[in-house]
Amino acid sequence: EAQVTQNPRYLITVTGKKLTVTCSQNMNHEYMSWYRQDPGLGLRQIYYSMNVEVTDKGDVPEGYKVSRKEKRNFPLILESPSPNQTSLYFCASLPGRGHGYGYTFGSGTRLTVV
Amino acid sequence: GENVEQHPSTLSVQEGDSAVIKCTYSDSASNYFPWYKQELGKRPQLIIDIRSNVGEKKDQRIAVTLNKTAKHFSLHITETQPEDSAVYFCAASQVLDGQNFVFGPGTRLSVLP
């Protein structure tokens, strides 16, 4: 089944403790993105990647890092989480130029930083 | 950069009535406009999309219209059913250009039985 898999689904952590949210897609998509969703603010892009080893900042990149060492994986790293990063996070992938439209989203990761 | 506004933020309709959600965008270079439905606790899912070379697109009870001159597009849902209750997001993008994919803030639609 074609899908984007995120882990974990739920995570509670303490301020300053490094964490990684994993994202993997099995559709050979070129584009991958991370979004955070907060009430009243919709979906805001954190980072995106157009292909392996190519990443760039979205609208709200502060406090986050990403890497794209393989096409299928796009982990989101919070080096020193803070309470304002409490949010619902979605990873999403897109086929790439000339191959189709629209993002496929993962199931989401609900992160709470205390 | 692109800015997408969406109205209304909440919408309640009686079952069987129609619902209309409107979005405006700012970047005239945007040419791809998808709509996503997000049910409570679930991921956003693409329900319909339109490209700028088309003025209207229909898929059963849902349709999207696009006015390029005015830079606005709308989602129309006819004969609403309780399972249509969800948050709907519009987005604007340049086709296949992942970095310029901007979402509206969302509309919470409630279909009352």
The more confidently predicted of residues A1 and A92 is: A92
Number of neighbouring beta carbons within 10 Å of residue B95: 13
* pLDDT computed for residue A101 by the predictor: 67
Phi then psi for residue A38, to 5 deg, are: -125, 145
Return the residue of A nearest to B96 by Cα.
Answer: A97
Contact A66, A89 (CB under 8 A): no
Pair of tokens at residue A15: 């301020």
Contact B101, A34 (CB under 8 A): no
CA distance readout (Å), A83 to A11, A19, A64, A70, A75: 13, 13, 13, 30, 20
The answer to whether the CB atoms of B98 and A101 lie below 8 A apart is no
| Residue labelled with tokens 């584009």 | A31
The answer to whether the CB atoms of A56 and B49 lie below 8 A apart is no
Chain A interface, Cβ < 8 Å to B: 31-33, 35, 40-45, 48, 50, 56, 58, 90, 94-108
At residue A98 the predicted structure's pLDDT band, cuts being 50, 70 and 90, is: low
Task: Please tell me if residue B100 touches chain A, with a CB cutoff of 8 Å.
Answer: no
Q: Which of B42, B37, B82, B98 is nearest to A95 (CA)?
A: B98
Q: Is the peptide bond before A75 cis (omega within 30 degrees of 0)?
A: no
Whether the predicted pLDDT of B83 surpasses 60: yes
Average pLDDT over residues A23-48: 92
Residue A25: list chain B partners with CB under 8 A. Answer: none
The answer to whether the CB atoms of A43 and B89 lie below 8 A apart is yes
∠ at Cα B98 (B92, B102), nearest 5°? 30
At residue B1 the predicted structure's pLDDT band, cuts being 50, 70 and 90, is: confident
Pair of tokens at residue B41: 């606790």
Please name the member of A31, A98, A107 whose beta carbon is closest to the beta carbon of B98.
A31
The answer to whether the CB atoms of B99 and A58 lie below 8 A apart is yes
The answer to whether the CB atoms of A97 and B34 lie below 8 A apart is no
Provide Rg for chain B, Cα atoms: 13
Return the residue of B nearest to A38 by Cα.
Answer: B105
The answer to whether the CB atoms of A43 and B98 lie below 8 A apart is no
Phi then psi for residue A70, to 5 deg, are: -130, 155
pLDDT in tens, A73-86: 999 999 999 999 99
Q: Is A18 exposed, middle or buried (0-12, 13-18, 19+ CB in 10 A)?
A: exposed
